[in-house]
């Protein structure tokens, strides 16, 4: 018999859909400092998603929670809004 591996949410790729409200973004770059592989700032110094799979879900959630103006929304793969 073969073995079956079940991925937990922390192991699954891209557990969140990441939405950035650029009108709310205040260029604080907390998201960049907490998850630089996922978030960056563009030429206007506003948040952009560089790689939605660049970090584990816990790190992405930490970065979203670090945004002082809640400009980052996380949606779980089953459609539930996780943050804010």
- Across the chain, mean pLDDT equals 88
H or E segment and range at residue 14: none
What percent of the chain is predicted at pLDDT more than 70? Answer: 83
Chain position carrying tokens 């560089």: 50
Residue 6 pLDDT exceeds 70? no
The 10s digit of each residue's pLDDT in 12-47 is 455 799 999 999 999 999 999 999 999 999 999 999
**Structure token digits, residue 29:** 């770059």
Domain edges within the chain: 25-83
- Looking at residue 79, the DSSP 8-state letter turns out to be S
Predicted pLDDT of residue 5: 39
**What CATH topology corresponds to 25-83?**
Alpha-Beta Plaits (3.30.70)
């Amino acid at each position: 018999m073969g073995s079956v591996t079940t991925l937990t949410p922390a192991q699954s790729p891209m557990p969140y859909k990441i939405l950035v409200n650029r009108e709310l973004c205040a260029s604080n770059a907390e998201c960049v400092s907490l998850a630089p592989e996922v978030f960056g700032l563009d030429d206007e110094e506003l948040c952009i998603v560089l790689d939605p799979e660049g970090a584990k879900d816990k790190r992405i959630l930490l970065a979203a929670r670090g945004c002082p103006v809640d400009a980052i929304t996380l949606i779980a793969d089953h459609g539930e809004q996780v943050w804010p």
